[in-house]
Structure 1
């Protein structure tokens, strides 16, 4: 199943820089691993915001929830999920 996911990150302003850097490094490693596995198909930055749009291909709602909740930045995110289906006018 395909999902379009918007993730908005809001780290606390008083979080020590070293802690933020460590969380971001774990986030990057996890995201890249999921991309290599073919679960995180696309990752796009939202210009001018600490946010992204991503496309995931996972087997179920529960699988997506488990994947997202394991993100190191998850406690600092607002997430919106849109399930996707093929469009009848698409040539792909």
Structure 2
């Protein structure tokens, strides 16, 4: 199942700089691992914001929920999830 996910991040300004660096580094490592596993298919930055648009390929909405909860920056995110279905006019890859 494919899901379009928008993540808006708002890390509090008063957070300790070392903790912020640790969280951001851990988030990057987790995102890379999910991309290498083929779960996080696309990751695009939204220009001018600390936000991204992503596409995940998972077996269920429950699996996506669990993945999102494992993201180190999850406590600081507002997330919007949209399930995707194949469009009948989509050009097929050869």
2:73 matched residue in structure 1:
73
Cα-to-partner distance string for 1:1-33 (whole Å, 9 max, x where unaligned): 000000000001101111100000000000000
2:4 matched residue in structure 1:
4
Does 1:32 pair with 2:22? no
2:74 & 2:41 partners in 1: Cα distance?
Answer: 19
Scaled by the length of structure 1, the TM-score of the pair is 0.99
For this pair of structures, how many residues does the alignment match? 92
Which consecutive unaligned segments of at least 5 residues does structure 1 have? Answer: none
Q: Which runs of 4+ in 1 moved over 2 A?
A: none
1:56 matched residue in structure 2:
56
Cα-to-partner distance string for 1:17-59 (whole Å, 9 max, x where unaligned): 1110000000000000000000000000000000000000000
Q: In the TM superposition, what is the alpha-carbon distance from 1:91 to its structure 2 partner? A: 0.9
RMSD over aligned CA atoms reads 0.4
